[in-house]
Amino acid sequence: MSELAATATQLDQAGRALAQEAARYTRMGWMRGTSGNLSVTLNRDPLRLAVTASGLDKDELTSRDIVVVDETGAAVPGGSLSGRKPSAEAGLHARIASVTGAGAVVHVHVLAPVVAAERWPAGVELRDLEMLKGFGRAAHDDLVTIPVVPNSQDMVVLGDAFEAGFDPATPALIVARHGLYVWGEDLHSARNRAECLEWLLRFSLETRADAGGQPASGRWT
Protein backbone atom coordinates (compact mmCIF):
# COMPACT_ATOMS: atom_id res chain seq x y z
CA MET A 1 0.00 0.00 0.00
CA SER A 2 1.26 3.51 -0.80
CA GLU A 3 1.74 6.36 1.66
CA LEU A 4 -2.00 6.96 1.36
CA ALA A 5 -2.52 3.79 3.39
CA ALA A 6 -5.99 3.55 1.84
CA THR A 7 -7.55 1.99 -1.23
CA ALA A 8 -9.25 3.94 -4.02
CA THR A 9 -12.56 2.52 -2.83
CA GLN A 10 -11.94 3.70 0.71
CA LEU A 11 -11.06 7.18 -0.54
CA ASP A 12 -14.15 7.36 -2.71
CA GLN A 13 -16.41 6.29 0.13
CA ALA A 14 -14.76 8.76 2.52
CA GLY A 15 -15.05 11.55 -0.05
CA ARG A 16 -18.73 10.92 -0.63
CA ALA A 17 -19.50 10.74 3.07
CA LEU A 18 -17.54 13.91 3.86
CA ALA A 19 -19.14 15.88 1.02
CA GLN A 20 -22.63 14.78 2.05
CA GLU A 21 -21.98 15.63 5.68
CA ALA A 22 -20.41 19.02 4.89
CA ALA A 23 -23.46 19.96 2.80
CA ARG A 24 -25.67 19.08 5.75
CA TYR A 25 -23.70 21.26 8.17
CA THR A 26 -23.73 24.10 5.65
CA ARG A 27 -27.52 23.94 5.48
CA MET A 28 -27.53 24.21 9.28
CA GLY A 29 -25.45 27.40 9.03
CA TRP A 30 -22.53 25.81 10.83
CA MET A 31 -19.97 26.03 7.98
CA ARG A 32 -20.33 29.62 6.81
CA GLY A 33 -17.95 31.26 4.37
CA THR A 34 -15.97 28.05 3.65
CA SER A 35 -15.22 27.68 7.38
CA GLY A 36 -14.92 24.41 9.23
CA ASN A 37 -13.65 21.00 8.20
CA LEU A 38 -14.51 17.35 8.67
CA SER A 39 -12.33 14.27 8.75
CA VAL A 40 -12.54 10.50 8.93
CA THR A 41 -9.81 8.13 9.99
CA LEU A 42 -8.67 5.90 7.13
CA ASN A 43 -5.86 4.07 8.87
CA ARG A 44 -4.43 3.88 12.38
CA ASP A 45 -0.83 2.82 11.86
CA PRO A 46 0.38 4.89 10.22
CA LEU A 47 -2.33 7.41 11.05
CA ARG A 48 -4.08 8.66 7.93
CA LEU A 49 -7.12 10.93 7.80
CA ALA A 50 -9.27 12.05 4.89
CA VAL A 51 -9.99 15.76 5.50
CA THR A 52 -12.22 18.14 3.55
CA ALA A 53 -10.14 20.43 1.34
CA SER A 54 -9.50 24.04 2.30
CA GLY A 55 -11.12 27.13 0.80
CA LEU A 56 -14.19 25.57 -0.83
CA ASP A 57 -17.87 26.21 -0.25
CA LYS A 58 -18.80 23.31 1.95
CA ASP A 59 -22.12 22.65 0.25
CA GLU A 60 -20.43 22.17 -3.13
CA LEU A 61 -17.81 19.53 -2.31
CA THR A 62 -17.46 16.46 -4.47
CA SER A 63 -16.03 13.13 -3.41
CA ARG A 64 -12.68 14.28 -4.84
CA ASP A 65 -12.45 17.38 -2.63
CA ILE A 66 -10.62 15.61 0.17
CA VAL A 67 -6.98 15.38 1.13
CA VAL A 68 -5.24 12.50 2.88
CA VAL A 69 -3.08 13.77 5.73
CA ASP A 70 -0.62 12.23 8.16
CA GLU A 71 -0.36 12.45 11.95
CA THR A 72 0.77 16.10 11.71
CA GLY A 73 -2.02 17.15 9.36
CA ALA A 74 0.32 17.42 6.36
CA ALA A 75 -0.85 16.09 3.00
CA VAL A 76 0.80 12.81 2.07
CA PRO A 77 2.22 12.39 -1.46
CA GLY A 78 -0.65 11.76 -3.85
CA GLY A 79 -3.08 12.63 -1.07
CA SER A 80 -5.39 14.74 -3.22
CA LEU A 81 -7.10 13.64 -6.42
CA SER A 82 -8.07 17.25 -7.16
CA GLY A 83 -4.81 18.99 -6.24
CA ARG A 84 -6.43 20.57 -3.20
CA LYS A 85 -4.72 21.51 0.03
CA PRO A 86 -5.76 20.53 3.54
CA SER A 87 -6.68 23.23 6.02
CA ALA A 88 -4.03 24.08 8.61
CA GLU A 89 -6.64 22.84 11.09
CA ALA A 90 -6.06 19.31 9.79
CA GLY A 91 -3.23 19.20 12.32
CA LEU A 92 -5.69 19.38 15.21
CA HIS A 93 -7.96 16.79 13.58
CA ALA A 94 -5.01 14.42 13.43
CA ARG A 95 -4.06 15.11 17.04
CA ILE A 96 -7.61 14.49 18.23
CA ALA A 97 -7.92 11.29 16.18
CA SER A 98 -4.58 10.11 17.55
CA VAL A 99 -5.33 10.85 21.20
CA THR A 100 -8.99 9.78 21.28
CA GLY A 101 -9.07 6.96 18.74
CA ALA A 102 -11.98 8.71 17.00
CA GLY A 103 -13.18 7.54 13.62
CA ALA A 104 -14.43 11.02 12.69
CA VAL A 105 -13.75 14.58 13.81
CA VAL A 106 -16.06 17.50 13.10
CA HIS A 107 -14.95 21.12 13.28
CA VAL A 108 -17.63 23.76 12.79
CA HIS A 109 -17.83 27.51 13.34
CA VAL A 110 -21.15 27.31 15.14
CA LEU A 111 -21.96 30.31 17.33
CA ALA A 112 -23.27 28.95 20.64
CA PRO A 113 -20.02 27.27 21.80
CA VAL A 114 -18.01 30.39 21.07
CA VAL A 115 -20.42 32.59 23.02
CA ALA A 116 -20.47 30.05 25.87
CA ALA A 117 -16.66 30.05 26.00
CA GLU A 118 -16.74 33.83 26.25
CA ARG A 119 -19.01 33.53 29.29
CA TRP A 120 -17.25 30.55 30.90
CA PRO A 121 -13.63 30.63 29.70
CA ALA A 122 -12.45 28.04 32.23
CA GLY A 123 -14.84 25.43 30.78
CA VAL A 124 -18.58 25.13 30.23
CA GLU A 125 -20.36 23.05 32.86
CA LEU A 126 -23.48 21.07 31.97
CA ARG A 127 -25.62 18.79 34.12
CA ASP A 128 -29.11 17.43 34.72
CA LEU A 129 -30.37 17.77 31.17
CA GLU A 130 -31.95 15.01 29.12
CA MET A 131 -29.99 16.01 26.02
CA LEU A 132 -26.76 14.98 27.76
CA LYS A 133 -27.74 11.40 26.88
CA GLY A 134 -27.34 12.30 23.22
CA PHE A 135 -23.85 13.50 24.04
CA GLY A 136 -23.04 10.13 25.59
CA ARG A 137 -23.40 11.16 29.23
CA ALA A 138 -26.01 10.68 31.94
CA ALA A 139 -29.10 12.86 32.22
CA HIS A 140 -28.75 13.17 36.00
CA ASP A 141 -25.96 13.70 38.52
CA ASP A 142 -23.18 13.72 35.95
CA LEU A 143 -21.25 16.98 35.79
CA VAL A 144 -19.91 17.46 32.28
CA THR A 145 -17.31 20.14 31.63
CA ILE A 146 -16.67 21.08 28.02
CA PRO A 147 -13.04 22.23 27.89
CA VAL A 148 -12.14 25.62 26.44
CA VAL A 149 -8.71 26.40 25.03
CA PRO A 150 -7.44 29.75 23.73
CA ASN A 151 -7.34 30.15 19.99
CA SER A 152 -4.01 29.82 18.19
CA GLN A 153 -2.81 29.55 14.61
CA ASP A 154 -0.27 26.97 15.79
CA MET A 155 -1.85 23.50 15.71
CA VAL A 156 0.82 22.08 18.01
CA VAL A 157 -0.04 24.69 20.66
CA LEU A 158 -3.75 23.93 20.23
CA GLY A 159 -3.09 20.19 20.28
CA ASP A 160 -1.05 20.43 23.48
CA ALA A 161 -3.79 22.49 25.17
CA PHE A 162 -6.40 19.95 24.05
CA GLU A 163 -4.39 16.98 25.31
CA ALA A 164 -3.66 18.66 28.66
CA GLY A 165 -7.38 18.92 29.42
CA PHE A 166 -8.59 15.78 27.65
CA ASP A 167 -11.18 13.63 29.41
CA PRO A 168 -12.09 10.46 27.46
CA ALA A 169 -15.72 10.82 28.61
CA THR A 170 -16.10 14.26 27.00
CA PRO A 171 -15.86 14.12 23.19
CA ALA A 172 -15.73 17.86 22.50
CA LEU A 173 -13.46 20.86 22.65
CA ILE A 174 -14.28 24.56 22.30
CA VAL A 175 -11.61 26.80 20.82
CA ALA A 176 -12.34 30.27 22.21
CA ARG A 177 -13.36 32.94 19.71
CA HIS A 178 -13.17 30.30 17.01
CA GLY A 179 -15.35 27.21 17.00
CA LEU A 180 -16.15 23.69 18.11
CA TYR A 181 -14.56 20.27 17.68
CA VAL A 182 -16.61 17.11 18.33
CA TRP A 183 -15.62 13.53 17.61
CA GLY A 184 -17.08 10.05 17.54
CA GLU A 185 -16.68 6.59 16.10
CA ASP A 186 -18.05 7.82 12.76
CA LEU A 187 -19.52 10.95 11.14
CA HIS A 188 -23.04 10.08 12.22
CA SER A 189 -22.07 9.69 15.87
CA ALA A 190 -20.05 12.90 15.82
CA ARG A 191 -22.96 14.82 14.27
CA ASN A 192 -25.44 13.54 16.83
CA ARG A 193 -23.14 14.64 19.61
CA ALA A 194 -22.51 18.03 18.01
CA GLU A 195 -26.24 18.66 17.58
CA CYS A 196 -27.02 17.72 21.16
CA LEU A 197 -24.11 19.77 22.50
CA GLU A 198 -25.18 22.84 20.56
CA TRP A 199 -28.65 22.54 22.11
CA LEU A 200 -27.12 22.16 25.58
CA LEU A 201 -24.93 25.21 25.13
CA ARG A 202 -27.82 27.33 23.87
CA PHE A 203 -29.87 26.21 26.84
CA SER A 204 -27.09 27.26 29.22
CA LEU A 205 -26.64 30.62 27.56
CA GLU A 206 -30.35 31.36 27.73
CA THR A 207 -31.02 30.14 31.27
CA ARG A 208 -27.86 30.82 33.29
CA ALA A 209 -27.08 34.34 34.43
CA ASP A 210 -23.74 33.47 35.98
CA ALA A 211 -20.41 34.09 34.40
CA GLY A 212 -17.12 33.08 35.72
CA GLY A 213 -13.79 31.43 35.65
CA GLN A 214 -10.55 32.52 34.20
CA PRO A 215 -9.13 31.06 31.03
CA ALA A 216 -7.45 27.72 31.73
CA SER A 217 -4.27 29.04 30.19
CA GLY A 218 -3.27 32.25 28.50
CA ARG A 219 -5.38 35.24 27.56
CA TRP A 220 -6.87 36.15 24.24
CA THR A 221 -8.24 39.61 24.83
Query: Are 182 and 171 in contact, with CB atoms under 8 Å apart?
Result: yes
Q: Which segment (57-65, 78-86, 179-187, 202-210) binds Zn ion by CB under 5 A? A: 179-187
The residue among 152 and 170 lying less far from Zn ion, judged by its C-beta, is 152
CA-wise closest residue to 183 among 217, 148, 142, 135: 135
Using the rule CB under 5 A, is 184 a contact of Zn ion?
no
CB of 112 to Zn ion, least distance (A): 15
CB of 51 to Zn ion, least distance (A): 12
CB of 203 to Zn ion, least distance (A): 24
Q: Which segment (24-32, 44-52, 152-160, 171-179) binds Zn ion by CB under 5 A? A: 171-179
User: What residue is closest to Zn ion based on CB?
Assistant: 179
Using the rule CB under 5 A, is 179 a contact of Zn ion?
yes
The residue among 73 and 137 lying less far from Zn ion, judged by its C-beta, is 73
Residue count, binding to Zn ion (CB under 5 A): 1
CA-wise closest residue to 86 among 102, 71, 103: 71
Neighbouring residues of 194: CB distance < 8 A, sequence distance ≥ 6: 106, 108, 110, 172, 180, 182
Q: Report whether 93 belongs to an annotated binding site.
A: no
Strands (E) located in the chain:
37-43, 48-52, 66-69, 104-108, 124-126, 144-146, 148-149, 172-175, 179-184
Name the residue type at position 218.
Answer: G
The residue among 10 and 54 lying less far from Zn ion, judged by its C-beta, is 54
The residue among 177 and 208 lying less far from Zn ion, judged by its C-beta, is 177
Name the residue type at position 215.
Answer: P
Q: Which segment (2-10, 39-47, 73-81, 174-182) binds Zn ion by CB under 5 A? A: 174-182
10 Å CB burial of residue 154 (0-12, 13-18, 19+) is exposed
By DSSP bridging, strand 48-52 and strand 148-149 are unpaired
Q: Report whether 188 belongs to an annotated binding site.
A: no
The residue among 153 and 221 lying less far from Zn ion, judged by its C-beta, is 153
Q: Which segment (63-71, 164-172, 177-185, 192-200) binds Zn ion by CB under 5 A? A: 177-185
Compute the Cα dihedral for 87, 42, 70, 83 and give only its sign.
Answer: negative
Give binding residues as ranges.
107, 109
Q: Which residues bind Zn ion (CB under 5 A)?
A: 179
Please enumerate, by residue number, every residue annotated as part of a binding site for Zn(2+): 107, 109
